[in-house]
Amino acid sequence: MLHVTDAKYIGDYKISVEFSDGCRFIADFESVIKSDHRPIVQQLADVNIFRDFTLQAHTITWPNGVDFAPEFIKSLQKTELSPV
């Protein structure tokens, strides 16, 4: 099972994400936030809310209850980073 092991806010809607399989890259959530019209997801359009995430239950979670499966986050790969 894939887990998010580390996540750091980069800027805009981008988060540097590290996974339990050793993969590490920058995930760009902008298109997800702009295309998902559910009010709970639209709250993340405010960058101040977006960058206020934590790691819980092996994924990225926001205070309003939004989270995405690690597999989905991995599909948002923007720029691969070298392994740590």
Residues 37 and 83: their CA atoms lie apart, in Å, by 35
Helix (H) or strand (E) holding 75: helix 70-75
Low-confidence ranges of the chain (pLDDT < 50): none
Model confidence pLDDT, tens digit, residues 2-24 = 999 999 999 999 999 999 999 99
Instruction: Note every long-range contact of 49-55, with CB atoms under 8 Å and residues 24 or more positions apart, other chains counting.
Output: 50/9, 50/13, 51/9, 53/7, 53/9, 53/15, 55/4, 55/5, 55/6, 55/7
In the 8-state DSSP scheme, what is residue 66? -
Q: What is the pLDDT of residue 76?
A: 87
Q: Does domain 4-80 have CATH number 3.30.2020.10?
A: yes
